[in-house]
Amino acid sequence: MANRSCIIRLSRYKNALNRLKTLNFVRVFSDNLADAAGVTAAQVRKDFSLFGITGNRRGGYKVDELSDQLNKILGKDQLQEVVVIGMGNIGKALFHYGGLEKSGIKVAAGFDIDPVKFDRDSSQPVLPLEGLVDFVRGHNIVLGVIAVPDYAAQQVLELMLSAGIRGVLNFAPICLKAPEGCIVNNINLESELENLIYFVNALEDGK
> Residues within the annotated binding site for NAD(+)?
86-91
Binding residues: 86-91
Burial class (CB in 10 A: 0-12, 13-18, 19+), 131: middle
